[in-house]
Structure formats: structure tokens, C-alpha cells
Amino acid sequence: MPMPSPLHFLFLLLLLAPAPAASSSFSLDFFPAAAAQLALSGGANATAAAISMPFPGARVQYRAPIAAGLAFSTYFAFALPASAASSLAFFLTPSAAARREPPALAVAFSARHVRVLLAGRAACQAHYSPTRKAIHAWIDYNATLHLRLSAAGATNHPTLTPPLLSCPLDLSPVLRRGPVLAGFRTPSGNCTLFSWAFHAAPYRMHSQPLNPANLLTTPPPPEPDRVAGRRYSPWGAAVSLLFAAACGAMLTFFLLFLWYTVTARRPVTPVDPSDVAYQKIVLVGVKDDAATAADDGAANK
């Protein structure tokens, strides 16, 4: 019987190799280490603090499939040019779908509008004021898709706003099919992606928007208003020292009084009544030796 060749063993190992595990949550701020988790195509490139998408058709995709479950929440910060033709879309599609097919879910942003697309068809849209600052977006899905937008600096800590758009959707056929692919694409180019976080829940629940301060590795800057409002006052310092000294003196006096009370008390030994009874003994008819001898002498005479 002929022995199998090493090529056959290699082929079997490739067939039996496990598929990459699906992730359920991640957080990226696009430093060089985080960019390794992304698949960039269409001219997209990673810089020290962002992902640049300068050309039409640029695409950024999380490299591993995502186990989205029945509810998910994602947060990302991006910048668009002020032109009306600018566009950036977040997409979510089954991992087995062809790349040329329209994604199962897409949230497309332009300079003034945002649209929710299901398989390429518009489901709902909303209007927002254009801004030159970075746009922070929250997308939460729990049988209803909620979209929140906030304009702030790319590295500033954004403030959560009320939902700009709420759209009832049934994505369970897509999410139950298996792991999905998530990412961004731009048909216009000249877009920048600063950060991205994603969290999935295995079942429907009351979804809370993602807090970027807890997810992103870049800590938010300190709040300048509160720090600037604190002023040093010498009178306040003096009052604090006097109050601390008074509290210390009172504590010392109390401890000394307690110590004196305990040590000055003398122990008292209880005296029980004696059980021994003293009685007077009277001897009748008993004489000592001298008296006995005198009596004997008198008798002999």
C-alpha cells in the first residue's frame, strides 16, 4: 500500500484548519497597532492618528468576522469635506455575501443628510447641519435603529445627544445567518476616520449608546472649565489648618481622658463573709498540773 505524500498531509491540514474566530466587540483609535486589525483597500491608508480614505472606492473593513447577535452598538468619529458630493457609509453585511452586492445595512453620511439603506434601498433619512469639525456618530440597534450625531474635535470627548433618527428595522434574518462583516466605504473620497468601536449583544436587550471614554484607548482630555474655576485662597488654607488643629486637640483630649479614667480606677477585691464561727469554750473540772499537785500535798498532811 503506497504511503501518502507530504503534500497530502499539507492539504489535509489546510482543510482541517479552523476558521478565524468571530469577534463580538473591539475598540480602535487607529494608531499603528490598531491599524493591523483592519483590511484597507481602494487607496485607504493608516496614519499615526487616523485612517485616510482619499480616493473614491476606498474601503476600511474589520479583518475578522463579527458575531453581531441580535443587538449591537457602534461608535465612530469621521470628517467629510464640505462639498455636496462627499459621502461616507458604514456597512454591515453577511460574511458570505459577494463584495459587489449592496450591503445588508448601510448608514450613508453626506455633508447635510444621513440615510439608512437596506440592501441598497432607502429605509429612512434625516437632515443635519453641516460642520467643519469631526462628526461623532452612535448607531444603536435593538429592533429599532437609533442614530445620534455630535460635532466636536477629533480628539475631544464628545457629548451624547438625543437621537437624530429612529427607524424600526428587522435585521434578524441577517444577524441570525452568522458572522457579519463591518466597515466603511466612500464613493467620493477625501474622508478621514479617526476612531471606531463596536459592541454586540447575543440577545435583544435595552441597548445603551457606547461611551467612547470607556472604549477608546486615548483618554479624554481634562475638563478645562472645572480646573480653571479652582483658585487658591490663603484664608481658606489657614482656616483649614486651624480646623485640623482643633480636631486634633479634641481627639487628644478625649484619648487622655479615657486613658486617665481607665488607669485611675483601683481594683476592689470583694470580701465574702467568713464561714468559720468562733465560740467560747468553758472547761469544767479540768485543772492544770500545779493545782493538782497542791491538792495532793494538802491531802497527805
User: From residue 37, how far is each of 63, 95, 212 by CA, in Å?
Assistant: 6, 16, 19
pLDDT confidence of residue 238: 84
pLDDT confidence of residue 88: 94
What cell was used for 170?
428587522
Q: Give the long-range contacts of residues 101-105, CB within 8 A, separation 24 or more.
A: 104/171, 104/174, 104/180, 105/169, 105/171, 105/174
88 lies in some domain: yes
Task: Assess contact for 46 and 35: CB atoms under 8 A.
Answer: yes
- The whole-angstrom separation of Cα 25 and Cα 201 is 9
pLDDT confidence of residue 183: 93
pLDDT confidence of residue 6: 42
What cell was used for 238?
489657614
The CA-CA-CA angle for residues 269, 270, 276, to 5°, reads: 120
**What is the 3-state secondary structure of 168-231?**
ECCCHHHHCCCCEEEEEEECCCCEEEEEEEEEEECCCCCCCCCCHHHHCCCCCCCCHHHHHHCC
- The whole-angstrom separation of Cα 63 and Cα 14 is 20
Number of domains in the chain: 1
178 lies in some domain: yes
42 lies in some domain: yes
233 lies in some domain: no
The alpha carbon of residue 249 and the mean position of all alpha carbons in its chain are separated, in whole angstroms, by: 44
pLDDT confidence of residue 90: 95
- The whole-angstrom separation of Cα 161 and Cα 150 is 7
Supply the DSSP symbol for 69: B
136 lies in some domain: yes
User: From residue 40, how far is each of 36, 53, 72, 186 by CA, in Å?
Assistant: 9, 9, 23, 12
222 lies in some domain: no
Q: What is the CA radius of gyration of the chain?
A: 45
96 lies in some domain: yes
Comparing C-alpha atoms, which of 140, 137, 120, 126 is closest to residue 187? Answer: 120
225 lies in some domain: no
What residues make up the domain containing 130? 20-203
pLDDT confidence of residue 161: 76
- Does this model's pTM top 0.85? My answer is no
Where are any strands of DSSP class E within the chain? 25-28, 38-41, 45-46, 51-53, 58-62, 71-79, 87-94, 105-110, 113-118, 121-127, 134-141, 144-152, 165-168, 180-186, 191-201
CATH of the domain at 53: 2.60.120.200
Chunked in runs of 10, what are the mean pLDDT values of the chain (301 residues)?
43 38 68 77 87 92 85 90 87 79 90 90 88 87 88 66 87 84 92 90 56 46 44 75 90 88 69 58 58 61 57
